[in-house]
Structure 1
Amino acid sequence: MDDRSPSGRAPGCGSLRCGLALLLHFCNVSMMSQRACLSLTMVAMVNGTGPQGPPNTSTPEPLDDIKNPVYNWSPQTQGVILSSVTYGMLLTQVPVGYLSGIYPVKNMVGSALLLSSLLSLLLPLAAGAGESAAIACRVAQGLSQGTMLVAQHTVWTKWAPPSERGRLTSLSLSGLMLGPSLALCVTGLICQSLGWPMVFYIFGAGGCALSLCWFLLFHDDPKGHPCISPGEKELIASSLVEQVGSAGKSVPIRAVLKSLPVWAISLGCFAFSWTNHIMFLYLPTFISSKLHVNNGLLSALPHLCCWLLGILAGHVSDGFLSRKMLSLLAVRKLFTALGLLLPAVFVVGLLYLGPGFHGTVTCLTLASATLGFCVTGIMINPLDIAPRYYGFLKGVTVLIGMTGGLISSTLAGIILNQDPEAAWSTIFLLMAAVNVSSLLFYLVFAAADVQAWAQEKQLTRL
């Protein structure tokens, strides 16, 4: 039986591909929770009132409870530990993107999530051994999370019919937005009631359970899945009949580097990551300095709204395509424009608002939430222009995007350190400038058709 609705436009809610997108969604929630929780547990891990020990030491206070140790880590050491996961992720992007087109995605994603979860379980022990062990643990966790972040995109080259790519991708990737919200909401409560080590044990155990579910339920090819219905198998196969994988084929690096659509996507990802890092890392600081409150739920609200809006954007974009209201290129440009321009408008609006609580919270929430539109814009665009090299292109674009995030977070720290009073105007105006300039380049050079260098007839020549 065909699993489509009578209109033929929407996938059945009980379809296997929808279930796998939901499973990947929760895997992403687990991964991001493991990544984000350290920034909150660090407050409980560090003895800010005790005397500073000599450099490169991490000695627990002798009178502190053994199940909730405190360490003498300097602010510089704390910064290195917090950022080390990002450097681990940077190393994996392009290599994993290439390998994901060759090796089974099931093993890559499942093993990466399992390794990240085990490292989360080991992090309290590593912290007790010293900051060097904690940094090494977080770098290794970054390597595993970077592997999962890039490899998962290749799933949809075989599982997502073109008419459903928006909603399936947005459902799976929205877990990246829900994860930080979950961490912000529950980490403080766990630290207060059970001690900070339990944060890593709980998130690590959850990730181990999800990795087991992934190994049991996911198959790389729909044709080999024992639970798929004949109708769904036929639907997926017929919709992807002209799509050829990249296994065994060399990537045309020169053609990729010369491709303006690739650069348009890359600059869009650069701007997205620039804004996302500012909102994720400095939103609690802004709320504390401007509103004089320190509320984890308030800091989590923008990420929660971004999660909801990202899922909604996937359904709306596929609706536009199925009803032939807009072309594929128009849909990608529209949602990229919404995802980059609206955050710029709302953060600039903050500069002209008074100190009112509700107006500030509304603008902050909308600035972060509207980033979710990019999921069905620049985030999925590489699958349109080069499906056979999707994994590699995602590795390249994510790497460039993460570079933008590192630059923005570093600059924001420098600006805040130099002039805390006027810093936010500079930070927000710079963010708006990056978003608008990147968007203009994308609108001019973006494409949504398979590029010549990614077509079957070009392979032998390239």
Structure 2
Amino acid sequence: MPRPKGYSINSPPSDESEDGEPLIENDEIPPQCCSARLNLAILMFLGFSVVYGLRVNLSVAMVAMVNSTDETPGQNSSKVHACPLPPGTENSTDDFNQPDWVPQYQWGSEVQGLLLGAFFFGYLCTQIPGGYLSGRYGGKIFLGWGVLGTAALTLLTPLAAQWGVYWLLALRVLEGIGEGVTFPAMMAMWARWAPPTERSRLMTLSGSGANFGAFVALPLTGYICQTLGWPAVFYLCGGAGCLWGVFWFIFVSDDPRTHRRISEKERDYIINSVGPQGTGHGWSLPLLSMLLSVPLWAIMITQMCANWSYYTLLTSLPTYMNNVLHFDLKSNGFLSALPYLGAWFVSITSGVVADTLIEKNMLSITSVRKIFTLVGLLPASGFLVAVSFSGCSHILAVTFLTLCTTIGGISASGVYMNQIDIAPRYAGFLLGITNTFGTIPGVVAPIATGYFTADHTLEGWRKVFWVAAVINAIGALFFTIFGSGKIQSWAITEEDRAEADKQRSRSIST
């Protein structure tokens, strides 16, 4: 059934505020194929693929960098194995052969946990400043230099490891500082570039680069470690990030108004669709109103809960595959990556479905965000519990882990993009806030995993999965109760109201 003239594509039924958005007629919507906004999403996708490759490569490389996970050298002969070793390997060590020139280190499980968590200490520091400055000046320079700087630092990883643990810890913290601005910058850019009924698919496409990067980096890291030695991992990943930076700064613009290759039709469509909310915010922010906003707290708490399980698997899954299931390094990398392939595909699909439900007025934005969050997180908790009872069964453990992360990809169209729903103009800053809280599990979870699994028993790993499952479920229920998809009153300025009134009057007159 055709829409009536003057229908707002930005007006999902029950979530549209009276201040409204500019009205766009259906026949004025330019196609996404080969569009500037789709090209931006693809470049962001590649950028976040690199970002997560840089983030997770240490998780797999750690297995090759460490020649023993025992704290005391004299314990090697009596090491406890959670599961029986494969036939023929009972008298072998867990060390992975490296070329003669490649060093290996004596790092215990606690030290490994600190190294894997160090990245997030730096990542916490730049989320809020990055979101604020991206919302004020645009996200191009912050996202571009965030990836480029992290890539350059990654090239120094072998040298830092050779100098000592503290140097490597410091380097990982610096990498986190550089990478911390990337997601807030992405959100700030989409606030200016993404029409409301295309937000889910554009943002899930760009953000799915994180899962795709993990999927590619984990097995590739294992292969490179066994063939070229672990230092080559950091040289190749760092080089890829530097190459991406060249394309980013050539082809990307902060705003459709300043893009040199965008068509006039697409530019007008985007500007009119996002309306006055698609402009940068001023120096002052409604901080008190944000602090008292229940929907914002719902995002923060839910992301903290969901990220606990995500970061637990992201940083510790290769160790579980090695120490418990005893996969060789190449199989370890591939099987650790398999869950992220499913999450990548599901997150993109969920974005298309979510936009369709909103555009066709089948569900409100609030309902879509809540349903996709609940369906993505609650079953994932169940599969984490199932992993804890899978014991030494390789098939069951890998199946449940894959299903857990795959289904979790549905939440990409839920809570993880909700900031742009409740306050588009401040979306980058809000994502900086929510990601800061959401990154705390990235610091704590690897350390907790190292503590629980210090004795290398199945009981220790069972605690890891149970804790992650319970926290994940709490987040899903909290957002279902307190989340919202409506633009908050504190996010609408008097200028916005005046502009909306003008647009509404213009629509009535035509």
TM-score computed with the length of structure 1 as normaliser? 0.89
Q: Among 170, 185, 193, which residue is 2:219 paired with?
A: 185
Cα contact 1:100–1:154 (8 A) shared by 2: yes
Alignment partner of 1:360 is 2:380: no
- CA distance change for structure 1 residues 417 and 107 in 2, over 3 Å: closer, same or farther? same
Counterpart of 2:183? Answer: 149
Q: CA offsets, 1:216-247, max 9 Å, x none?
A: 01000111111111221121111012425343
CA distance in 2, matches of 1:252, 1:300: 41
1:369 aligns with 2:406: yes
1:29 paired with 2:49, answer yes
Distance in 2 (CA, whole Å) between partners of 1:358 and 1:304 is 17
Alpha-carbon distance in structure 2 between the residues aligned to 1:65 and 1:320:
54
Q: CA deviation at 1:402?
A: 1.3
Q: CA deviation at 1:452?
A: 1.1
Q: Residues 110 and 451 of structure 2 are in contact (CA less than 8 Å); yes or no, is this contact kept in structure 1? A: no
Q: CA deviation at 1:288?
A: 4.7
Question: Which of residues 416, 419, 425 is equivalent to 1:382?
Answer: 419
- The one-letter code matched in structure 2 to 1:116 is T
Q: Is the 8 A contact 1:275 1:405 kept in 2?
A: no
Give the 5 Å matches for 1:271-420.
Answer: 271-288=305-322, 291-294=325-328, 295=331, 296-351=333-388, 356-417=393-454, 420=457
Q: Deviations over 1:406-425 (max 9, x none)?
A: 33333333233368233344
SS of corresponding position for 1:241: helix
Cα–Cα, structure 1 residues 114 and 421, in superposed 2: closer, same or farther, change >3 Å?
A: closer
Letter in 2 for 1:423: G
Letter of the structure 1 residue corresponding to residue 343 of structure 2: C
Q: Find the aligned partners of 1:272 and 1:445 in 2 and give their Cα distance.
A: 16
**2:193 & 2:392 partners in 1: Cα distance?**
49
Match in the other structure for 1:121 = 155
Q: 4+ residue runs of structure 1 moved beyond 6 angstroms?
A: 6-10, 49-53
Partner AA of 2:141 in structure 1 = N
Give the greater-gyration-radius structure (CA).
Answer: 2
Distance 1:122 1:220, change over 3 A: same
The CA deviation at 1:165 is 0.4
2:105 and 2:289 map into 1 onto residues whose CA distance is 51
The percent identity for this pair of structures is 37
Q: Distance in 1 between matches of 2:106 and 2:316?
A: 24
Q: CA deviation at 1:286?
A: 4.0
Instruction: Output the CA distance in 2 between the equivalents of 1:332 and 1:452.
Output: 19
In 2, the alpha carbon distance for the partners of 1:315 and 1:80 equals 39
Report the CA distance between 1:146 and its aligned residue.
0.8
State the Cα deviation string for residues 359-411 of structure 1 (Å, max 9, x = none): 43322111111111111101110101011111111011111111134333333
Greater shift, 366-375 or 65-74, is seen at 65-74
Q: Does the 8 Å contact 1:27/1:113 carry over to 2? A: yes
Distance 1:415 1:148, change over 3 A: same
Shift of the alpha carbon at 1:351?
A: 4.9
Q: Which moved more, 1:182-191 or 1:72-81?
A: 72-81
In structure 1, how many angstroms separate the alpha carbons of the residues matched to 2:66 and 2:432?
A: 35
**Matched residue type, 1:24:** M
Q: Which amino acid aligns with 2:33?
A: C
For residues 234 and 164 of structure 1, the distance between their equivalents in structure 2, rounded to whole angstroms, comes to 15
Partner amino acid, structure 1, of 2:119: V
Could you list the runs of 5+ residues in structure 2 that have no partner in the other structure? Answer: 1-23, 74-97, 498-510
Instruction: Output the amino acid matched with 1:408.
Output: A
Residues 339 and 372 in structure 1, CA contact (< 8 A), matched pair in contact too: yes
2:78 corresponding residue in structure 1? none
Residues 325, 392 of structure 2: 8 Å contact kept:
yes
Please say if residues 381 and 472 of structure 2, whose CA atoms lie closer than 8 Å, have aligned partners that are also in contact. yes
In the alignment, is the contact (CA less than 8 A) between 1:67 and 1:197 conserved in 2?
Answer: no
Equivalent in the alignment of 1:446: 483
Q: Which residue matches 2:36?
A: 16
Deviation, structure 1 residue 150:
2.3
**Deviation at residue 195 of structure 1 after TM alignment:** 2.2
Find the residue that maps to 1:102 and give its secondary structure: helix
Q: Which runs of 5+ in 1 are unaligned?
A: 54-63
Q: Which residue of 2 aligns with 1:161?
A: 195
Q: In structure 1, give the amino acid aligned to 2:145.
A: S
The amino acid that maps onto 1:219 is S
- Counterpart of 1:273, as a letter, is N
- 1:441, CA displacement in angstroms? 2.0
Per-residue CA deviations over 1:161-180 (Å, capped at 9, x if unaligned) read: 00100001001111111112
